[in-house]
Amino acid sequence: MRYRCEAVSVEGFIQQLAVAYVARGYFFYVVGKIPAGKDRHAVDEKLVERYQIDLSKWARARRKQLGRASLQYLRHEDFFTIIATHGEHPFFEREGASVRDIRRRAIRYGGYAVSFRGGHVQVRIDLPQYRLLKAWFEDEATRRSAESLAKVFYDLPFEPYHLVKRQEFNLLRAVNRKRRAAGLSLVPFECIWLKRRPVKPFGEASSTVKSSPAGPDAVPVEAVTTETNGGGGPTSDE
């Protein structure tokens, strides 16, 4: 199948979804999960063929001129989404009430939430994930060294999209408030990763590696993260 749809990482899935699709007017979606034991590539081919998704950019432009929708299909492991632009298409009739609007309901996957508001794509840490992180950091704020906490912040597995950075700085400020009140040294702001590392969604991920500014005594990232799959409601970075 010529059409590339299988993202090799969560980061690639989110990047392709947000930057290549949602930012270009793909707002209407369904999400699904391929059952265990099913041939994922066979499902890919079936869905791409069913909705005639494998079109050239010229064909998509022509469809737009005629008021017809274009679709994209994207999958990472067993989670997938079919996402469409405005216009007529059998997709809307066939999927019916299952179709969501990303401007009203975010796509949630891998701890991220992707939405479109105020004329812009928004990528943030999903609210349940954010609350889990906040609880963990506040609990550990005065128990660990500044170096240990800095290492955990630096190793958080989220690409620094604008709202992700804002959320992480909010977490860091909450930690430092507790440490300041306890008379402890503060965790430096330099532990927040500022530059997003673009990846190849359908090929090898970027070889860029974070170099740790802190000591070796941090907890594993898995101890403070979970994965959330599926479509979800509006999120916040409170």
Closest CA to 11 of 157, 114, 152, 115: 157
Query: Are 198 and 207 a contacting pair, CB within 8 Å?
Result: no
pLDDT, mean of residues 133-139: 97
> Can you read off the two tokens belonging to residue 177?
């408030």
pTM of the model: 0.83
Q: What is the pLDDT of residue 2?
A: 84
According to the model, what pLDDT value does residue 218 have?
A: 34
Q: Which two tokens stand for residue 134?
A: 């906040």
* Helix, coil or strand: residue 125: strand
Q: Which amino acid is at 15?
A: Q
**What percentage of the chain carries pLDDT values higher than 70?**
85
Please give the angle made by the CA atoms of 108, 111 and 112, to the nearest 5 degrees.
55
DSSP code, position 68: B
Looking at residue 189, its pLDDT comes to 95
The whole-number average pLDDT for the span 27-50 is 96
Structure confidence by residue, pLDDT tens digits, 195-218: 998 999 998 644 444 433 333 333
SS3 5: coil
What's the confidence (pLDDT) of residue 209?
43
pLDDT at 66: 75
The string over 16-51, giving b where at least 16 C-beta atoms fall within 10 Å of a residue's C-beta and e elsewhere, is: bbbbebbeeebbbbbbeebeeeeeeeebbeebbeeb
Q: How far is the C-alpha of 158 from the C-alpha of 162, rounded, in Å?
A: 11
Q: How far, in Å, CA of 165 to CA of 125, rounded?
A: 9
pLDDT at 233: 39
Q: What is the mean pLDDT of residues 43-54?
A: 94
Kindly tell me if the per-residue pLDDT of 231 is higher than 70: no
**89 neighbors 71 (Cβ within 8 angstroms):** yes
153 φ, ψ (degrees, to nearest 5)? -60, -45
Q: Are 17 and 5 in contact (CB under 8 A)?
A: no
Per-residue pLDDT reduced to its tens digit, 85-130: 999 999 999 999 999 999 999 999 999 999 999 999 999 999 999 9
pLDDT confidence of residue 203: 86
179-188 confidence digits (pLDDT tens): 999 999 999 9
Average pLDDT over the chain reads 87
Given this model, what pLDDT does residue 232 score?
43
Please tell me the total number of residues recorded for the chain in this structure: 238
Which pLDDT score, from 0 to 100, does residue 228 have? 38
**151 pLDDT exceeds 90?**
yes
